[in-house]
């Protein structure tokens, strides 16, 4: 059957009436009654039941369910469980659930009840309905129906983990051997037998692709109608002008093969790739990335859509049942370079067809991807954006509704006089979002000082305001900032733990234990009112891990350090390893460098570590855009005509301010501006800096501004921002802030810095601790205005696109919700 052509007879509108008493679909009076089938009524109300496996989120299967409900808006809905927070796509309808809904931890561990699902689905009573429509990727098609009922099953796939993906499922679940493996194999064997037996009660199968249709035939020995899933192509607009980059976007799980795409582009340094998405494979992907590959992580829908519109091609290496993103890219007029298996064969027109929309590669290897990219690049004009858009429209929501309703109408005699209802769409659900509306978070931080970690936490709690309580282990400006945002804050007395330092300084053991116990007790009391503990600093993580154990709450640590001997003492590293085993459910790292160091120290699994770059607001810097630099310098008592190099961080040995001062000795025509103060017992280092200034005659050229509230004004007052850490920096917030201030940035090449700066493109990098190299780079910047302008333009673009606050906050919130829900 050619599915590109829709039969006019099937879709021609026919009048429909409704029974006023029951408001259900009825046949048109006077229409010729069809032949009865197994006792089905030819006139009168037709009651419809829709069965879905489980309702916990809004993803691909739920997009299909949404449109089935639109076809039959008066239908009743049944599901094993229903834990939806946002019900707009179901039009607010209630759902009848199974006994699994009330089992312990069903909200987060519903998949663990797989052995009970066949029994549970069979207990759903749909005997009062004339038509049963199941939306099934697991057990929904096994609902019990009688001889006078018509059962139509829209199959997203036969149970993958029980059939052809069993061995992959067992391997990923670490169930390849042992008693648990034997039990799992017995359960899956039972599931296969049950799955085949219940297929006999389905009157008509609908598959979401030819690929799944073949699976249905192989497993059930049944034919099926192919009706492609609905894609919201109207949310994507055609873009004729393309930028010079390729795009891939996906959840980073093994079968998506994102690492292969990145590996391929790493071998093509002249071609740019943008990667959007996150997941368990993020570290593997980042490890293979080269400067021409930009890893953006999770991004909101509008950012994804913008990149899909501007990309010269969308690269897709997975073997998918269907592949919605492939269609979405084409809806933007963007051609596709895809693995030639699975659903892509049905959604992409090959280069050898008329009006082609993409190219296929034959193997899931880097070499095969490279070959397809080179083939595409030879003549990209073969693929017209208008042809891509036209092809995508075959998979529109309207097309799905017409096809599916028409199929049901032809299958059910009593509906042959009915027409597709005029849709009154619910509020739009633009993309999957975590079920976080009811999320309650206890955020804990050890400091009252406004450091980089606290500024980043402030962005998160501002977004979660009504659902977060913050606990600090010290008072200070941070508490006031939180109060100004209307956030609930408690300050606990840290006792002797205040004297614990990264490099191993500790108070007497008895006092330390007493202080820890006091903080844990207070934290446990507050944690019991929350769903997840969010620890923002290392000392807070230790208290959180212990408190989470007692309170029975998962703990997420936002890791903002590189946990290595260069940054931490041996005792602190041992405590971190112990806490990782004791009570950490998940880690959010602020860079791949931080994530790697933590994984190496603790052997924490990649699936429990996510990289989310710090989000930094451009607003304070934009507000100063029209303020003359002379005004800012006068306010800060800085010289008007000097070439100023700014350093912005607390004064600490590892931050390397001494390297900048040594470079000032080599560059007598420059001034250094040091913004920051010693915070954690580092006053001796400040004294050494001032002594160096005095002994080298730098008094008139080095300006100690101390702690400053308005960092944006300080940055806009200088000519260059220098980041001089002598040990690897976990992230480098100052670098992004410098880019937002529209100042050229020079930074030490180590740690998270290399994930921000593309050397020579949006900033310059030097060897850590090398004062001569820093002096030479600063001299080059001073003499080359064109270079400064180019770095500023590219740097600002990088900061806004890659390190915006929206993507950062949404990424953290999504992880917290996922951990809280036990997913």
What is the residue-wise DSSP string for 330-395? HHTT--EEEESSTTHHHHS--TTSSS--EEEESSSSHHHHHHHHHHHHH-GGGS-HHHHHHHHGGG
- Cβ neighbours around 631 below 10 Å, total: 13
- Which sign, positive or negative, has the C-alpha torsion 755, 759, 764, 766? positive
Of the candidates 716, 646, 632, 708, the one whose C-alpha atom is nearest the C-alpha of residue 674 is 646
What does the alpha-carbon distance between residue 817 and residue 445 come to, in Å, rounded to a whole number?
A: 20
What does the alpha-carbon distance between residue 135 and residue 569 come to, in Å, rounded to a whole number?
A: 56
CB 435 within 8 A of CB 83: yes
Which pLDDT does position 238 carry in this prediction? 93
- Which pair of tokens denotes residue 426? 């619910």
- Which pair of tokens denotes residue 779? 């001299």
Secondary structure of 753-776 as H, E, C letters:
HHHCCCECCCEEEECCCCHHHHHH
Q: Which residues of the chain have pLDDT under 70?
A: 1-44, 161, 164-165, 168-169, 172-173, 423-438, 496-508, 680, 823
Which pLDDT does position 243 carry in this prediction? 94
CA atoms within 13 Å, Cβ hemisphere of 812: 31
What does the alpha-carbon distance between residue 720 and residue 169 come to, in Å, rounded to a whole number?
A: 53
Of the candidates 389, 361, 395, the one whose C-alpha atom is nearest the C-alpha of residue 376 is 361
What does the alpha-carbon distance between residue 161 and residue 170 come to, in Å, rounded to a whole number?
A: 8
- Cβ neighbours around 30 below 10 Å, total: 8
Which pLDDT does position 586 carry in this prediction? 94
Specify the residue for token string 């600002």. 796
Phi-psi region of 156 (alpha: psi -120 to 50; beta: other; left: phi over 0): alpha
What does the alpha-carbon distance between residue 730 and residue 592 come to, in Å, rounded to a whole number?
A: 9
For the domain made up of 233-395, the CATH class stated in words is: alpha beta
What does the alpha-carbon distance between residue 630 and residue 591 come to, in Å, rounded to a whole number?
A: 36
Burial class (CB within 10 angstroms; exposed 0-12, middle 13-18, buried 19+) of 59: exposed
- Cβ neighbours around 49 below 10 Å, total: 25
Q: How far is CA 170 from CA 156, 165, 554, in A?
A: 21, 9, 26
Phi-psi region of 459 (alpha: psi -120 to 50; beta: other; left: phi over 0): alpha
- Which pair of tokens denotes residue 244? 């010079």
- Cβ neighbours around 351 below 10 Å, total: 17
CB 134 within 8 A of CB 51: yes
Of the candidates 542, 366, 532, the one whose C-alpha atom is nearest the C-alpha of residue 443 is 532
Which pLDDT does position 49 carry in this prediction? 97
pTM here is: 0.54
What is the chain's percent helix, strand, coil content, to nearest 5?
45, 15, 40
Q: How far is CA 284 from CA 259, 263, 267, 269, 298, in A?
A: 7, 10, 16, 19, 16
Contacts of 391 (CB under 8 A, 6+ apart): 330, 347, 348, 349, 355, 357
What does the alpha-carbon distance between residue 807 and residue 730 come to, in Å, rounded to a whole number?
A: 19
What does the alpha-carbon distance between residue 498 and residue 491 come to, in Å, rounded to a whole number?
A: 13
Determine the straight-line distance between the first and last CA of the chain, rounded to whole angstroms.
40
Quick check: do 441-615+809-820 and 619-803 share a fold?
yes
What does the alpha-carbon distance between residue 104 and residue 817 come to, in Å, rounded to a whole number?
A: 19
Strand spans (E) along 639-713: 643-648, 670-675, 702-706
CB 262 within 8 A of CB 285: yes
CB 632 within 8 A of CB 717: yes
Strands in 584-589's sheet, in edge-to-edge order, are 488-491, 468-472, 441-445, 532-535, 555-559, 584-589, 609-611
- Cβ neighbours around 803 below 10 Å, total: 24
Which pLDDT does position 169 carry in this prediction? 64
pLDDT digits (tens, 9 = 90+) for 324-378: 899 999 999 999 999 999 889 999 999 888 899 999 999 999 999 999 999 999 9
Of the candidates 374, 408, 141, the one whose C-alpha atom is nearest the C-alpha of residue 246 is 374
What does the alpha-carbon distance between residue 551 and residue 520 come to, in Å, rounded to a whole number?
A: 10
With H, G, I as helix, E, B as strand and everything else as coil, classify residue 248: strand
Of the candidates 312, 252, 318, the one whose C-alpha atom is nearest the C-alpha of residue 288 is 252
Q: β-pairing, 17-18 with 25-26?
A: antiparallel
Q: Which long-range contacts (CB under 8 A, 24 or more apart) does 416-420 make?
A: 416/27, 416/31, 416/34, 417/14, 417/16, 417/27, 417/28, 417/31, 418/14, 418/16, 418/25, 418/26, 418/27, 418/28, 418/46, 419/13, 419/14, 419/15, 419/16, 420/13, 420/71
Domain boundaries defined on the chain:
9-159+397-415, 233-395, 441-615+809-820, 619-803
619-803 CATH, one of 3.30.505.10, 3.40.50.2000, 3.40.50.300, 3.40.228.10: 3.40.50.2000
Secondary structure of 434-469 as H, E, C letters:
CCCCCCCEEEEECCCCCCHHHHHHHHHHHHHHHHEE
What does the alpha-carbon distance between residue 208 and residue 40 come to, in Å, rounded to a whole number?
A: 27
Phi-psi region of 772 (alpha: psi -120 to 50; beta: other; left: phi over 0): alpha
- Which pair of tokens denotes residue 823? 């997913």
What does the alpha-carbon distance between residue 789 and residue 241 come to, in Å, rounded to a whole number?
A: 26
Which pLDDT does position 569 carry in this prediction? 83
- Which pair of tokens denotes residue 143? 């609902």
- Which pair of tokens denotes residue 112? 């663990």
What does the alpha-carbon distance between residue 299 and residue 272 come to, in Å, rounded to a whole number?
A: 19
CB 123 within 8 A of CB 97: no
Q: How far is CA 490 from CA 24, 470, 731, 797, in A?
A: 56, 6, 28, 38
Determine phi and psi for 814, rounding to 5 degrees.
-65, -40
441-615+809-820 falls under which CATH superfamily?
Glycogen Phosphorylase B; (3.40.50.2000)
Which pLDDT does position 744 carry in this prediction? 97
Q: Largest alpha-carbon pair distance within the chain?
A: 105
């Amino acid at each position: 059957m050619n599915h590109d052509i829709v039969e006019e007879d099937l879709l021609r509108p026919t009048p429909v009436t409704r029974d006023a008493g029951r408001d259900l679909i009825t046949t048109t009076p006077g229409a010729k009654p069809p032949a009865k089938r197994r006792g089905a009524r030819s006139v009168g109300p037709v009651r419809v039941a829709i069965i879905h496996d489980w309702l916990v989120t809004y993803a691909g299967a739920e997009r299909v369910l949404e449109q089935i409900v639109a076809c039959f808006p008066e239908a009743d809905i049944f599901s094993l469980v229903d834990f939806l927070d946002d019900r707009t796509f179901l039009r607010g309808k209630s759902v009848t659930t199974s006994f699994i809904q009330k089992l312990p931890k069903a909200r987060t561990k519903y998949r663990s009840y797989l052995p009970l699902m066949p029994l549970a689905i069979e207990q759903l009573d749909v005997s009062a309905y004339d038509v049963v429509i199941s939306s099934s990727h697991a057990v929904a098609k096994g609902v019990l129906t009688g001889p006078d009922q018509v059962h139509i099953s829209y199959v997203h796939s036969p149970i993958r983990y029980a059939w052809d993906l069993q061995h992959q499922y067992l391997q990923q679940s670490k169930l390849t051997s042992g008693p648990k493996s034997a039990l799992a194999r017995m359960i899956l064997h039972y599931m296969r037998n049950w799955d085949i037996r219940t297929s006999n009660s389905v009157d008509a199968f609908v598959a979401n692709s030819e690929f799944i249709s073949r699976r249905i035939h192989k497993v059930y020995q049944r034919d099926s109608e192919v009706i492609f899933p609905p894609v919201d192509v109207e949310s994507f607009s055609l873009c004729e002008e393309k930028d010079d980059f390729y795009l891939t976007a996906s959840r980073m799980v093994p079968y998506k093969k994102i690492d292969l795409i990145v590996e391929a582009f790493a071998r093509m340094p002249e071609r740019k790739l943008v990667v959007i998405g996150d997941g368990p494979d993020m570290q593997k992907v980042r490890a293979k990335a080269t400067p021409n590959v930009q890893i953006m992580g999770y991004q909101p829908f509008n950012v994804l859509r913008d990149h899909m519109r501007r990309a010269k091609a969308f690269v897709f290496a997975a073997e998918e049942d269907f592949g919605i993103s492939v269609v979405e890219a084409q809806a933007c007029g963007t051609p596709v370079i895809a693995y030639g298996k699975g659903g892509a064969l049905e959604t992409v027109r090959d280069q050898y067809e008329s009006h082609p929309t993409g190219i296929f590669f034959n193997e899931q290897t880097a070499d095969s991807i490279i070959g397809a990219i080179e083939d595409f690049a030879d003549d990209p004009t073969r693929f017209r954006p208008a042809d891509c858009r036209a092809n995508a429209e075959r998979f529109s929501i309207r097309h799905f509704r017409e096809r599916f309703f028409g199929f049901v109408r032809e299958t059910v005699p009593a509906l042959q006089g009915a027409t597709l209802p005029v849709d009154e769409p619910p509020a739009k659900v633009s993309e999957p979002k975590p079920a976080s509306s009811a999320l309650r978070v206890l955020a804990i931080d050890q400091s009252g000082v406004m450091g980089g970690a606290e500024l980043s936490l402030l962005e998160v709690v501002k977004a979660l305001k009504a659902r977060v309580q913050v606990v600090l282990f010290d008072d200070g400006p941070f508490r006031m900032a939180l109060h100004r945002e209307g956030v609930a804050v408690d300050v606990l007395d840290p006792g002797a733990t205040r004297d614990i330092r990264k490099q191993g300084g500790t108070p007497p053991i008895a006092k330390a234990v007493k202080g820890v116990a006091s903080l844990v007790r207070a934290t446990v009391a507050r944690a019991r009112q929350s769903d997840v503990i969010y620890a923002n600093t290392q000392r807070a993580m230790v208290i959180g891990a212990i408190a989470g154990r007692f309170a029975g709450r998962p703990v997420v640590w936002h890791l903002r350090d590189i946990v290595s001997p260069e940054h931490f003492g041996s005792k602190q590293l041992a405590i971190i390893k112990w806490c990782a085993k004791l009570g950490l459910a998940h880690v959010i790292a602020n860079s791949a460098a931080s994530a790697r160091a933590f994984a190496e120290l603790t052997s924490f699994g990649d699936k429990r570590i996510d990289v989310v770059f710090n989000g930094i607001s451009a607003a304070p810097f934009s507000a100063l855009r029209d303020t003359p630099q002379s005004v800012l310098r006068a306010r800060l008592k800085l010289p008007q005509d000097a070439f100023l190099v700014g350093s912005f961080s607390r004064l600490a040995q590892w931050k390397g301010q001494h390297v900048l001062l040594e470079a000032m000795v080599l560059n007598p025509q420059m001034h250094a501006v040091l913004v920051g103060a010693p915070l954690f017992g580092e006053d001796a280092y400040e004294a050494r800096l001032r002594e160096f200034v005095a002994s080298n005659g730098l008094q008139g050229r080095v300006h100690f501004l101390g702690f400053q509230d308005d960092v944006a004004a300080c940055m806009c007052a200088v000519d260059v921002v220098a980041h001089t850490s002598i040990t690897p920096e976990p992230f480098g917030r100052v670098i992004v802030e410098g880019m937002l201030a529209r100042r050229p940035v020079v930074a030490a090449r180590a740690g998270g810095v290399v994930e921000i700066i593309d050397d020579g493109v949006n900033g310059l990098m030097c060897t850590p601790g090398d004062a001569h190299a820093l002096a030479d780079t600063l001299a080059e910047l001073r003499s080359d205005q064109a270079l400064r302008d180019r770095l500023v333009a590219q740097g600002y673009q990088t900061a806004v696109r890659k390190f915006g606050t929206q993507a950062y906050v949404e990424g953290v919130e999504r992880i917290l919700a996922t951990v809280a829900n036990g997913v």
